[in-house]
Amino acid sequence: MRVAPSAGKPAEAAMLVNVPRLVTAYYSDRPDPSVASQRVIFGTSGHRGSAFEKAFNEWHILAITQAICLYRVQKKIDGPLFLGMDTHALSAPALASALEVLAANGVDVMLSQGDEYTPTPVVSHAILTHNRGRSTGLADGIVVTPSHNPPHDGGFKYNPPNGGPAASTITDWIEARANQFLEAGLAGVKRILFEKALHASTTHRHDYLNTYVADLANVLDMDAIRGAKLNMGVDPLGGAGVHYWGPIAERYGLNIAVVNEAVDPTFRFMTVDWDGQIRMDPSSPYAMQRLIGLKDRFDIAFACDTDHDRHGIVTKSGGLLAPNHYLSVAILYLFQHRPKWPNGAAVGKTVVTTQMIDRVAAKLGRRLYEVPVGFKWFVEGLLDGSLAFGGEESAGASFVRQDGTVWTTDKDGIVPALLAAEITARMGRDPGEIYGDLTREFGEPLYDRVEAPATPDQKALLAKLSPQQMKLADLAGEPIQAVLTRAPGNGAAIGGLKVVTKTGWFAARPSGTENIYKIYAESFQDGEHLRRIVDEAQSIVSGALAAAPISGAGKVDPSLPLPPAPQTETEENA
């Protein structure tokens, strides 16, 4: 990974997005559905793109929202739709476009009281709170956010009544229907003027903030945090939770200093990420330079990304904790300090998350549930209590309430952040120090992720590899224990492969949004062993991809018929 000279430094004026031009492009530019990059494309977290590239424009949002309305009718989802947004420049315009369609379709929409920004986990919490004990009149939601993506991007994701990210069976249907609307010039899309939609009888206001904040004591030991009188710092990174931290501190009597309360769609206050872009990633040491520099002022500090579904933990002992390190500590702590959690509740992780979690789960005597990349794979387990915790290496996690019932089924950055304070309060040591204990017991793993170019054909081939195609005996000098193309936890295809040895592993999978593939690797030996794993992984994958034909394979054929609607919203997890 080549680090840009500007990485970790304050953003320069020339880097800042021109917001007026970006919003103008959103309204004035029309996508061409015959161009693959301008079609509606749902990745692991909704449709994302930039208006400058005709990948996130008003036509996209109108088409997607109408498709969601049709899906709701087909599945008889007739409760309220909770609609939230983050602080990206394109979020407010996209929310307005969505509301015009939702109101025209007679959907009861819950907008935030006072037009407050709404974090992703807060929308999930609202959906689940409304649906608790109901079998009819179920709610769902839309969050307008591209997560931690750069300021020029927009994002739009749908959460069905289970409160979590929609399964691929759902998003595939919505994507296909939305693209049909684009191809038809939006014929069939219902829409009314924004002012009329805003005052429609179906448009309501909801107090997202106080409802969520008041419930935090049911998932965290707020008394322990208050009693320890910790000095805490938080950087919202200009995101949707910027106004949540003050009410949290006030309600629970906590000493939380918000180090930056600015909301600016250019995000000019950020330090630049590794590649020279502005990116609000709380797991990046480059983007987190400001809070890292303040670590000695606080007993524990934390940050969240733009929609507050990812966390970053900064400790006095070790600075910014790698996500894999903190997830391991959180699991160790929670399963020993939540006596009401069911004995059979499992630990959830994705196939590219550290094997330190495997060792911690074994120490705790807990079942490990390993799934493909994407938080959607944890939804049903969190909902029914068979999972107590779900986490992924990209700093996304959620866990159940203290009584073992569901909290959120989407990633929650706020709760893991506050958990770091609970851990520090009750253990008398910060998570960085506790992770040191784990390394002394299990060894200190080294982790890396690399990217390499891949054509659409090669990406399609990588996603469909079988273990039989891999003629492997050893990896970096160790016998191979397993070659996986399906996740051990649920048997679902991982969209690539994972090769495991006693003290190391690698996983390779194609990107869902770019013409690249990614290799994730970990070694419990040393840096040289990790380098060998990565080098051999690249050689193995390159050899497999050499068989890919140079053709148009892998492109979407817009003439294909609309796929059938999913039979249930959870069949992908069955």
Residue pair 165/23 in contact (Cβ under 8 Å)? The answer is no
The packing angle between helices 91-104 and 19-28, to 10°, is 30
* Structural contact between residues 435 and 328, judged by C-beta atoms closer than 8 angstroms: yes
End-to-end CA distance of the chain: give it in Å, rounded.
38
Q: Which two tokens stand for residue 539?
A: 């050689």
- Contact between 208 and 112 under an 8 Å Cβ cutoff? The reply is yes
Given the residues 50, 91, 124, 147, the one annotated as active site: 147
Phi/psi of residue 276, nearest 5 degrees = 85, 5
Determine contact, residues 331/347, Cβ cutoff 8 Å.
yes
The CB density around residue 464, as the number of other CB atoms within 10 Å, is 12
Place of tokens 């679902």: 492
Query: What b/e string do you get for 128-151 counting C-beta neighbours within 10 Å, with b at 16 or more?
Result: bebbeeeeeebbbbbbbbbbbbbb
Give the β-pairing of 46-50 and 153-159: antiparallel
Residue 91 φ/ψ, nearest 5 degrees: -70, -45
Q: Give the separation between CA 211 and CA 207, rounded to whole angstroms.
A: 6
Residue 91 annotated as catalytic: no
Residue with tokens 């970096």, as numbered in its chain: 476
Alpha carbon distances (Å) from 173 to 34, 70, 71, 97, 415:
19, 10, 8, 21, 32
- Please list the helix, strand and coil fractions of the chain in percent, rounded to the nearest 5, in that order: 35, 20, 45
Residue 481: CB atoms within 10 Å: 11
Please list the active-site residues: 147
